[in-house]
Amino acid sequence: MITLYDLVFQEDRRPSPYCWRAKFALAHKGLDYTNVPMGFTEKEKIAFADSKTVPVIKDGEKPVKDSWAIAVYLDEMYPERLLLKSEMGRSFARFINGWADVVVNGGIFPMVVGDLVDRVRPEDRDYIEESRGARIGTKDFGSFQKQAREKGLAAFRASLEPARRALREQKFLSGEEAAYPDYILAGTFMWPRTVSPFELLEADDPVYAWRERMLDLFDGMARKAKAA
């Protein structure tokens, strides 16, 4: 039996982009698992895996931490429906992983940080204010977010152009069927969706249409999750 430790916010929101990668990966494989919610200040729950971040999975007695390591592990242990289909597929996914972590997550964070802080569980509020405040150099999250939206939205949309060009030609980043590169970027978009009403994409953007397709996968798994 697999257990997934998943970041939890108020009202059972599940915002972690990295945990979403693991949830899409598990769904792709058709694997059953138990989802254990974990707040920022409950790190003792994942101490067994020697991790301070989620996702972490426990498969039987085996702990695996880090979303990329989880994808690689699942393909090794459950090779039936591969997430990383070939050497080139794996290399492409690795590229998307880095691009999503740095460019896309990095672009989204300042534009939703105020909403994120507002929706954290009350018991985790001090922790997120300290850690995210240190990252942006202020605790005035609302003003920071407002300015970031005014200055950053056009640049953020432009940064998605590599994905947009691919998605004009094909249904998914991975081709006709979704695979791990899609789950990486979809995980990233689940993060703002679960904490912020701010719309990052224009309705006629091919990335918007792709995001809708990702929300529909696995019987609407991601669409059913609590949104902002």
Ligand X SMILES: N[C@@H](CCC(=O)N[C@@H](CS)C(=O)NCC(=O)O)C(=O)O
Task: List residues binding ligand X (CB under 6 A).
Answer: 7, 16-18, 40, 53-55, 66-68, 131
Rank residues 3 and 53 by Cβ distance to ligand X and give the closer one: 53
Give min distance, CB of 210 to ligand X, in A. 21
Give min distance, CB of 83 to ligand X, in A. 14
Rank residues 100 and 167 by Cβ distance to ligand X and give the closer one: 100
Query: 33 phi and psi, to 5 degrees?
Result: -155, 160
User: In one letter, which amino acid is 191?
Assistant: W
Give min distance, CB of 67 to ligand X, in A. 4
Give min distance, CB of 219 to ligand X, in A. 24
Query: How far apart are alpha carbons 162 and 159 in whole angstroms?
Result: 7
Long-range CB pairs of 150-157 (<8 Å, 24+ gap) are 152/107, 152/110, 152/111, 153/111, 153/200, 155/107, 156/107, 156/108, 156/111, 156/200, 157/200, 157/201, 157/202, 157/205
Rank residues 72 and 221 by Cβ distance to ligand X and give the closer one: 72
Angle at 91 between CA 85 and CA 92, to 5 degrees: 80
Rank residues 67 and 174 by Cβ distance to ligand X and give the closer one: 67
* Residue whose Cβ sits closest to ligand X: 53
Rank residues 56 and 167 by Cβ distance to ligand X and give the closer one: 56
Give min distance, CB of 171 to ligand X, in A. 25
Rank residues 18 and 33 by Cβ distance to ligand X and give the closer one: 18
Give min distance, CB of 220 to ligand X, in A. 23
Report the 10 Å Cβ neighbour count for 125: 15
Report the 10 Å Cβ neighbour count for 73: 16
